[in-house]
Chain A
């Protein structure tokens, strides 16, 4: 399609693209051979001139419909129940990883502990997501409970792995030597 007409059009349009710049709205390849097809495509797009008021982005449909509302509700419940649904999976992973302290179980536990915490921290964002729902508060509560359960599970796992300082031995290093009340000395009679 390297026609002389195209070339002329190119010359006409080059001023619009901010002449001299590398990034052009369109370009016409004069060379033949391998770049032909690309030039083809670009030339094809370049040919379209958008009408006034046309936006490339799709405009959201703001009209509320009854069926959509149900869908939103469903979607929101999905979000709220997400953490709870993960619990059986987590339990399985916990069971599989065992109680030995090595790199993989630790990574698992870390992930398990970190995800609920992360979720709890970004609670407000989730609430925003659930804003559209009518049962917003209930869903929020379920979401919270799910995450709390998740973290409880992580803590339980830490406990069973012995990572929690719950025993007296964990605080042994912090006990200061007792102060001596009496001064004593002496020995065999010299």
Chain B
């Protein structure tokens, strides 16, 4: 019986349609890149000489280990986003890495070889201040955690708390640092700003207060920013006002000694707050007596503290560093043969931080490797002669927007295209053009032959097959495209404060543009934009595709400063990443919105309209030709603006003189609800079928209004009984509201997809007291025109008297979602799927068929004829719907879909912390032969048949002749 069941099971499995990839297709059409984000803490694993690990703790709450030889990840742990998973401190000792997570909420120890968790304990509540390893007699056994009101000591081996002590006078004293010099004492350094320093020494054994002293320091405001412990437990502070160093022996003195910098013959740069840096290589030993003093942005001093005397070892007055040297810390002399030249990428940012791994070579000379972190969050690993071992573009974990651009045609294709694309002048010039293009083709061909010949002589290993910008060309089915990604990561201004004190004010965005080959994922170009204002909004537009050959493709990035409202345009070539020679217009007025028109100027660039705060419109490019076209078209150009702050939706029409007039306005009271998002249709979307065939073979025509907008609102009242999510379907030209729906007891985040004649909304229903109504729901709204088309040739919003029929249905989804997008294909014949990024890291391809408001509750003959699935409130997640099989994509923030040259195929890019690219086939690959298609068999059969017919024909002839002779 069991065998029978097994057989049945096998049978059903074999018969079931397989939508997932086959094993041999893994990684063939898809790739994933894993990132960690901007590095906050980094440690080289030095406990084993041959170790190849570097530990990184990042601002994305990721803790990872990288291979220093290749730059690949050994392992990675992604914690919760936001302050809950924030990594406050990273301490490493031997094979253990201790992390303080979530503002001192958790203490975790990781085993760094395999990335396994040793232990995790929950710390007592309280704001985290500082942590350090505590050693005794050259062994490190404890870790001390300083919080706002208490200090605790934990065993490094199992995390158990050894003791916890309340800090004295914690209401007035702000304890900021903890220090241990390996002598059985732990010092907590506290400060009453502009008054005195409090130093409390605890015994490691039982937490008893050995000593408590308070030292006058009226000039000091922050210990972490201006003090460091140097040498045998000597607290050294720098004061910018009096330009002097203060030293204090933590063990005995109770008075600070002032050493003016002038006495050392030093001067600080005016207006610069000097800073101190010291190192403690081994937590069981006191820090080194040598320390750095930074006096200016590029002025550093290596000082040595020797019996209360400060000696200057070396003065570094460096311009922007491009070469690295290793200096002996004891003497300040430069070590021989340690120069390393680092070429700063002109398209990258300036170096920001260095992480140095020094080691002894076999011949006892010192070698070192450096990991350079630049402003654009790039990690570059350098080996000694200046060889770049690897580069990681960590900015790619912050993609804000992206576009996919077709690759240019090959020289041959482009020449032919170009010939027909150019404007015709006359017979003679056409002939000349044809001749010249043929000549260029010939030239290219000869060049190609020469290259082949040349390459053939070289040994095989030297011939590179890498994709570079030079050999990029469109493939047969346009499956390979250029992904233009805009990354913007906020940069924290004040870095000297400990992380938990920083209120995340972004001084400026570090914005970097990337061009990535969609087939392999290799970065083909990068361009760092500096001086981008904080709080910027971005809009990336493709003005000219690669289809107009002699003219280069052109992308425009609109960067708007949200504070001032002023915007700038960055115009670039998306294939090469170079800034275009076209000077974008200067925009003196704040810009509200931009609008890409399908009009083209004489150079085939689409016209971009920019609407300023006076509701005047400027065009880019603004040639005479464009302005003339605009004047002709003005009466049919409309735009809408949605002001979320005022709850105002307004529609405008363009006038001949490029001013605008308000034609409609809808105000949503902001006290009750606020507008969360608005979704129009994608301009490059094609809909092949204008209607749906009913069971009785009549047609239900779709309401395909290209001007339809789906506006989503959320209630401002977040009480679970009164909260709601509203959806408004509104015509962007006339302002006519077609449908309004309210989901009660629902709340955001709301995800919306709007395509063809349907809108899919995802929201959570949340009722605290009842688990039954705590669920996630998909709602689908479909619009139909009815059984007859009003006007089948043209669509004008101004002339549609009948309101569409609205159908709506809801389904329960078993998971929350991160993002949602619909597939897109060239002609829109292929059925649509919904791509859903789940928080678990999966990307689900849900057929739209399941989200169809015509799904009947009772199955009838007609619904069966229509292939409608009977309604079931629960949508199941089938595992074969995951398009990324086991390649988890962490923290998906967006999914981008682009059509390919094949109607069956849609290109998908999911971005978040990771980037994942794949292809999906919503209706299977109906236009492509299978991957494992047996060409050999088919062709051999064909040939065999062909020869068989030839032979049999001959034989038949002979036989006929013989018969004739008989």
Give chain A's interface residues, CB within 8 Å of chain B. 22, 162, 167-170, 172-173, 175-190
A–B pairs, 15, beta carbons within 8 Å: A172-B689, A173-B689, A178-B791, A178-B794, A180-B706, A182-B637, A182-B796, A183-B633, A183-B636, A185-B597, A186-B641, A187-B593, A187-B640, A190-B558, A190-B560
B627-670 with Cβ < 8 A to chain A? 633, 636-644
Q: Within 8 Å CB of A167, what residues of B?
A: 697-699
Given contacts A176-B792, A189-B643, 20 further A-B contacts (CB under 8 A): A168-B699, A169-B693, A172-B689, A172-B693, A178-B791, A178-B795, A179-B793, A179-B794, A180-B794, A182-B796, A182-B798, A184-B706, A185-B595, A188-B593, A188-B677, A188-B678, A189-B592, A189-B642, A190-B539, A190-B558
- Tell me the nearest residue of chain B to A178, going by C-beta: B795
B636 partner, pick from A22, A178, A182, beta carbons under 8 A: A182
Q: Within 8 Å CB of B639, what residues of A?
A: 184-186
B642 x A187 contact (CB < 8 A): yes
Judged by DSSP, the binding face of A is: mixed
Q: Within 8 Å CB of B640, what residues of A?
A: 184-187
Give chain B's interface residues, CB within 8 Å of chain A. 537, 539, 558, 560, 562, 567, 591-598, 609, 611, 633, 636-644, 675, 677-678, 680, 686-691, 693-694, 697-699, 704, 706-707, 732-733, 789, 791-798, 965-966
- Tell me the nearest residue of chain A to B683, going by C-beta: A185
B591 x A190 contact (CB < 8 A): yes
Q: Within 8 Å CB of B707, what residues of A?
A: 182, 184
B795 x A180 contact (CB < 8 A): yes
What 10 A-B pairs are tightest by C-beta distance, nearest first? A185-B595, A181-B796, A186-B639, A167-B697, A178-B795, A186-B640, A169-B693, A190-B537, A184-B638, A175-B690
Alpha-carbon distance between A170 and B678 when the two chains are bound, in angstroms: 36
Alpha-carbon distance between A170 and B696 when the two chains are bound, in angstroms: 12
Given contacts A22-B966, A169-B698, A172-B689, contact A183 B637 (CB under 8 A): yes
Q: Within 8 Å CB of B633, what residues of A?
A: 183
Alpha-carbon distance between A168 and B789 when the two chains are bound, in angstroms: 11
- Tell me the nearest residue of chain A to B538, going by C-beta: A190
Rounded to whole Å, the gap between the CB of B352 and the closest CB of chain A is 29
B644 partner, pick from A178, A186, A188, beta carbons under 8 A: A188
Rounded to whole Å, the gap between the CB of A141 and the closest CB of chain B is 37
Q: Within 8 Å CB of B789, what residues of A?
A: 175
Given contacts A169-B699, A172-B693, A177-B687, contact A189 B641 (CB under 8 A): yes
A169 partner, pick from B598, B697, B706, beta carbons under 8 A: B697
- Tell me the nearest residue of chain A to B696, going by C-beta: A167
B592 x A172 contact (CB < 8 A): no
Given contacts A162-B697, A169-B693, A183-B637, contact A189 B793 (CB under 8 A): no
B795 partner, pick from A22, A173, A179, A190, beta carbons under 8 A: A179
Q: Within 8 Å CB of B966, what residues of A?
A: 22
Rounded to whole Å, the gap between the CB of A43 and the closest CB of chain B is 21
Alpha-carbon distance between A179 and B18 when the two chains are bound, in angstroms: 39
Rounded to whole Å, the gap between the CB of B380 and the closest CB of chain A is 34
Alpha-carbon distance between A68 and B419 when the two chains are bound, in angstroms: 81
Alpha-carbon distance between A177 and B793 when the two chains are bound, in angstroms: 7
Q: Within 8 Å CB of B794, what residues of A?
A: 178-181
Q: Within 8 Å CB of A187, what residues of B?
A: 593, 640-642, 678, 680
A177 x B797 contact (CB < 8 A): no
Q: Within 8 Å CB of A173, what residues of B?
A: 688-689
Q: Within 8 Å CB of B798, what residues of A?
A: 181-182
- Tell me the nearest residue of chain A to B697, going by C-beta: A167
Rounded to whole Å, the gap between the CB of A168 and the closest CB of chain B is 5
A182 x B592 contact (CB < 8 A): no
Q: Within 8 Å CB of A170, what residues of B?
A: 697
Q: Within 8 Å CB of B636, what residues of A?
A: 181-183
Q: Within 8 Å CB of B698, what residues of A?
A: 167-169
Rounded to whole Å, the gap between the CB of B615 and the closest CB of chain A is 12
- Tell me the nearest residue of chain B to A23, going by C-beta: B966
- Tell me the nearest residue of chain B to A167, going by C-beta: B697
Alpha-carbon distance between A59 and B772 when the two chains are bound, in angstroms: 101
Q: Within 8 Å CB of A172, what residues of B?
A: 689-691, 693, 699
B697 x A190 contact (CB < 8 A): no
Given contacts A177-B687, A189-B644, contact A182 B593 (CB under 8 A): no
Alpha-carbon distance between A182 and B633 when the two chains are bound, in angstroms: 9
Rounded to whole Å, the gap between the CB of A78 and the closest CB of chain B is 41
Best-surrounded residue of A175, A179, A180, A187 (most CB of chain B within 10 A): A187
Best-surrounded residue of B678, B698, B795, B798 (most CB of chain A within 10 A): B795
Rounded to whole Å, the gap between the CB of B736 and the closest CB of chain A is 13
Rounded to whole Å, the gap between the CB of B619 and the closest CB of chain A is 13
Alpha-carbon distance between A19 and B797 when the two chains are bound, in angstroms: 97
Rounded to whole Å, the gap between the CB of B594 and the closest CB of chain A is 8
